Structure 1
Amino acid sequence: MVAVTANPRRWWALGALVASMLTLGFDMTILNVALPTMAGDLGAGTGQQQWMADAYVVVFAALMLPAGLLGDRFGRRRMLITGLALFLAGSLMGALASDVNWVIAARAFMGIGGALVTPLALSVLPSLFDPDERAKAIGIISAASALGMPLGPIIGGWLLNHFWWGSVFLVNVPMAAIGIAACVFLLPETSDPASPRVDPLSTALTATGLGALIYAIIEAPGRGWSDGVVLAMFAAAAVLLTALVLRERRAVRPMLDMTLLAHRGFLFNTLAATLVMFVLSGLMFVLPPYLQAVLGHDALGTGVRLLPMMGGLMIAARGAQPVVAKFGARAVVSAGLVVLAFAALLGSRTTAESGYGFVALWLSITGVGFGFCVVPAMDGALGALPRDRAGSGSGLLMTLRQVGAAIGIALLGSLLAGIFRDRLDVTGLPPQAAHTAGESVIAAHLIAAKAGPDSAARLAASANDAYVHGMGVVLLVCGIAALVAALLAAVLLPKAAAPAQEAESTGAAMVVTVEDA
């Protein structure tokens, strides 16, 4: 370790990792602000917007475990550079895309790169820093990821106000290029040839199973829940994911180590963290269209107006550990979920006339609740495992959280789409215009802009009312889900906090938390 800490390039190497994590961090929140603008320019309905968001998340979740193993076996620096290169290529593809399908493909390609970058950026730290410096290094990476959250909406909003929507992809290119150059010149190569081999069949089962499940959820509102294609996709997802679990349980050295779920602390902390991601991802999907289409703010204004939640999250995440030390993880996780439930239930009372002040209030409370429940839950999950299972446990935890996020976007977005379509008043519109207006609140406003004065005002008011009603139902579901999670946490989480494994446990939880959100 002395040789590592004496290496004068280690802090420059850390800069390469910071650039990588910052790029991934603000890319997630940039898209939330850009979706309404992209929907208007590309004519994307709610389902297509869900796919633009979920394509990245599904691929990310499916490939994160094999990506980490590839780095262990073939070199972490090599795979990290590969991931950044794929992310750069996907960003270029997204910037040059001319229709929705190409954007979805670009997002999926970026998901491959993100899956390589996220676990490997953390796994190289032990080779660079001794335990004393490692805690500081993790703190710096955490700060970079945290900075990406509020920067994303603001940068994205500014770009959308001055350039075309493809600029939110193009901004990733120089950042990824800097990360690649820094990795090439500053990062030492490390590997672990003894790590488990990548199982192509398990990887394929994960990707196809999750893809079938998300497809069925997103398509169900338009096709109908009893549609043959939807039912077939649900059945295929059940078969594929069951086959994955059975295969991994029988493997001698599995990629997805299901035996970790036998640890009570790990299981229920992971469940709490996954449910929180379900709630937060759905909320972040439905809120930007409300701010832009209903309240009439531009993209930059929307980004700035998301800051209260980011501020609440960062304050709570920083203050969570002292509170856990005093009251215990179970009490803090449960209380955080109750606060999150209260924020969502309060948000469900939002109307088209509420104004931003009310939204800022429940957004701030949402951030506080999220920060106080998810960081202790993730730290408790990792702390409940034996030290030699921390790596595989972290991979499983990150994967399940991404699955929760993907299902949150798909399920809550589909709920919103169905309510909006049923409640929207399209009386007097031609059939094609009525169908287009029912795709999303953005599309309804575009149709209203082309209609006569009387029809325009009526359609715009109906679209706003329908969207706000649907958003209220989504937030109500989020509140109930958070409340159920709080009750489960209070009853089922271990009473005593598990001993921390190392300083980097909490730091890793912070990195994953902030990057996901």
Structure 2
Amino acid sequence: MSQVSTPSENRSMSPWPTFVVTAVAAYISTLDLSIVNVAFAEIAADFPEVSRGTISWVVTAYSILFGSLLVVFGRLADRVGRKKLFQIGSLLFLAGSVLCAIAPTMGMLIAGRAVQGVGGAIMTPASLGLLLSVFSLERRSQAVAWNGAVGALGVASGPTLGALFVDTFGWRSAFWINVPICLVVVLLAARYVKETPRIDSPRPDIGASVFVTLSVASLVWGISRAEEHSFTDSLVVSLFVAAVIFGVVVVKRTISHPVPLMPPAMFTVRSFSVANAATFLFGAAFSANILNNVLFLRSEWKYSVLEAGLYSVLAPVIVAATSFAIGRHISRIGFRRLLVGGPILFAVLVLIGAFIFTESPTPWSKWLPLMFVLGISIGLTFPTLSAATVHSLPPTLFSLGGAINNTSRQIGSAVGVALVVTIQTTSDGLAGFQRGWYFIATCSALAGVVALMQPHVENTNSR
């Protein structure tokens, strides 16, 4: 039986073992959003009889289930126990990784990715709730910033790690890598992480959770399908219509139900709402830029998978270093300054790249210096977005708040990737990538503009 700790006990314990466990969980759950993209061609080669559309479900199945279930399990974690759900999610993620690694058929590989997606959706919001419960109010911004930095590092390092493992050990190694990490997470959580008190309150609107899942799943599926087909494809349009209909049902139930799944009062907290809007926009820019850069290196500069991965490794390292450095000072600097400056700097750097990169490779004189500063801009932004989201929420909504923020980033990423793929196809060669960078810069700049609405003074009563 899990031990349940009280807030006073949590404050007397060292929070760092919990931080390590939750940070590792954040890393592997976000790593799997991008690491498999690199292995796409190798997976297709192993299953030559399977269509490209079917193989795309290896990516899509994870994205849909991860993105659509975050809010549901965030709410559940706050009610039934965060450690309990965290352990269940970790074990499911482990099981899904094993299924993927040994899959003899495409059907089993897609099923394994679906299990991974469910496990990640359970594990992620529960881990954030656990993290916040062990840190004092004055250190929460730092802890959440660092945890968010690790999550961003997972997405950013996916192409590099994927390239290294796939090129050296084959595509199945992209899944085997999760197995020992998940085992360590489960064992450390059982030993060092204390259960949080369960919230004794009326059961929230379970019916709304079904419609939230259907709405987000329809949206993410539609966006993912649009990458391969178009936004005018009949099924894509139908999925978008379904997403809107289910979303309207969620809004109506949220307004009318006595115990809504997502309390409307959350969205009156200005730092929460503004941070989520900025997360959507910056998530679109961030993920679209990763894809645009990797495709540019592969198709224009003719680099191999491994070479493209190695030339992409600098930015994730700088993201991590910047995030950990800035985490100590977020409260002093203020969310607003960082959330305006970080995305604007990112936009300017992407525009510079669009003008200075040509068909002739210039990795040392232009690419790597720009990636160095780009990593700084990402390191200033993503951790601060994570911290700003939950800063003014009550402890009873930590997991749910974090889940909504992760959902915003996941949907933004899907939108950004789908749109940049569509934009690339409007022009051949370098011009297509330049248009992609223009779009990316626009999304990031809009995130900075939205962040101007962040409160000037961040405190627990900021609205």
State the TM-score bracket (shorter-chain normalisation): 0.7 to 0.9
In structure 2, C-alpha distance between the alignment counterparts of 1:408 and 1:184, rounded to whole Å: 38
Q: TM-score by structure 1 length?
A: 0.74
Task: Work out which of the residue numbers 357, 360, 363 in structure 2 matches 1:356.
Answer: 363
Question: Superposition pairs for residues 225-374 of structure 1, below 5 Å?
Answer: 225-320=231-326, 328-349=334-355, 350-357=357-364, 358-374=366-382
Structure 2 stretches lacking a partner, 5+ long? 1-6
Contact 1:412/1:474 (8 A) holds in 2? yes
Please report how far the alpha carbon of residue 141 of structure 1 lies from its aligned counterpart in structure 2 after TM superposition.
5.6
Aligned-residue offset at 1:475 = 1.6
Number of equivalences:
453
- Equivalent residue in structure 2 for 1:34, among 39, 44, 63: 39
8 Å Cα contact 2:222-2:237 kept in structure 1: yes
Cα–Cα, structure 1 residues 296 and 140, in superposed 2: closer, same or farther, change >3 Å?
same
Deviates more, 1:305-314 or 1:94-103: 94-103
| Preserved CA contact (<8 Å) 1:69 1:195 | no
Alignment of 1:471 onto 2:444: no
Structure 1 residues 36 and 359: CA distance shift in structure 2, 3 A? farther
**Counterpart position of 1:493:** 454
How far 1:265 sits from its partner (Å)? Answer: 3.2
TM-score by length of 2: 0.82
Distance 1:311 1:15, change over 3 A: closer
What is the root-mean-square deviation of aligned Cα atoms in Å? Answer: 3.8
1:372 CA displacement: 2.4
1:23-42 CA distances to partner (integer Å, 9 max, x unpaired)?
Answer: 33544453344345445555
Measure, in 2, the Cα distance between the counterparts of 1:100 and 1:387. 42
Report deviation, 1:473: 1.9
- Cα distance in 2 for partners of 1:301, 1:48 equals 28
Is 2:74–2:400's contact at 8 Å kept on the other side of the alignment? Answer: no
CA distance in 2, matches of 1:104, 1:201: 28
For residue 462 of structure 1, what is the aligned residue in structure 2? none
Work out whether residues 60 and 221 of structure 2, in 8 Å CA contact, stay in contact via their aligned partners in 1: no
Aligned-pair identity (%): 24
Q: Write the deviation string for residues 236-285 of structure 1: whole angstroms up to 9, x where unpaired.
A: 12111111222222222222234322333332232112210111112223
Q: Deviations over 1:141-161 (max 9, x none)?
A: 678657756765554333212
Q: Which residue is equivalent to 1:74?
A: 80
Change (3 A) 1:396 1:134: closer
Distance 1:22 1:263, change over 3 A: closer
- Asked whether the 8 Å contact 2:72–2:213 carries over to 1, the reply is no
Residue 57 of structure 1 aligns to a residue whose secondary structure is: helix
Aligned to 2:178: 172
How far apart are residue 97 of structure 1 and its match? 3.5
1:286–1:200 CA distance, 2 compared to 1 (3 A): farther
Question: Deviation of residue 336 (structure 1)?
Answer: 1.7
In structure 1, what is the Cα distance between the partners aligned to 2:368 and 2:17?
Answer: 39
Matched residues in 1 for 2:283 and 2:187: separation?
33
1:24 is aligned to: 29
1:211-259 CA-to-partner distances (Å, cap 9, x unmatched) read 3223333434655544433322222121111112222222222222343
Q: Residues 38 and 296 (structure 1 numbering): CA distance in 2 closer, same or farther, change over 3 Å?
A: farther
Alignment-derived partner of residue 419 in structure 1: 426
Task: Give the superposition deviation at 1:162.
Answer: 2.3
Q: Which has the larger radius of gyration?
A: 1
Does the Cα contact within 8 Å between 2:319 and 2:378 map onto a contact in 1? Answer: yes
Match of 1:379 in 2: 387
Deviation of 1:374 (Å): 3.4
Which of 443, 447, 456 is the equivalent residue of 1:481? 443
C-alpha contact (below 8 Å) 1:278/1:406 kept by paired residues: yes
Structure 2 contact 149–319 (Cα < 8 Å) conserved: no
Deviation at 1:59, TM superposition (A): 1.7
Gaps of 5+ in 1: 424-464, 503-517
- Give, in whole Å, the separation in 2 of the partners of 1:221 and 1:19: 31
Quick one: which amino acid aligns to residue 406 of structure 2? M
- Greater alpha carbon shift after TM alignment, 169-178 vs 70-79: 70-79
Q: Per-residue CA shift, 1:8-54, capped at 9, x if unaligned?
A: 9x866665445434433544453344345445555688866765444
Per-residue Cα deviation, 1:362-392 (whole angstroms, up to 9, x for no partner): 3333322222233334433433556765554
**Following the alignment from structure 1 to structure 2, what is the Cα–Cα distance between the partners of residues 290 and 252?**
52
Residues 293 and 52 (structure 1), Cα distance of their counterparts in 2 relative to 1, 3 Å cut: farther
1:84-103 alignment, distance < 5 Å: 84-97=90-103, 102-103=108-109
Change in Cα spacing, 1:257 to 1:42, as seen in structure 2 (3 Å) is: farther
**Is the 1:36–1:289 contact (alpha carbons within 8 Å) kept by the matching residues of 2?**
no
Task: Spell out, residue by residue over 1:147-188, the C-alpha distance to the aligned partner (whole angstroms, 9 max, x if none).
Answer: 756765554333212222111011111221232233345444
Residues 342, 42 of structure 1: alpha-carbon distance in 2 compared, 3 angstrom cutoff = farther
C-alpha deviation, 1:334, in angstroms: 1.9
Equivalent in the alignment of 1:63: 69
AA in 2 matched with 1:215: W
Structure 2 letter corresponding to 1:470 = G
Would the alpha carbon gap of residues 110 and 136 (structure 1) be closer, same or farther in structure 2, given more than 3 Å must change?
Answer: same
Residues 28 and 195 from structure 1, CA distance in 2 versus in 1: closer, same or farther, beyond 3 angstroms?
Answer: farther
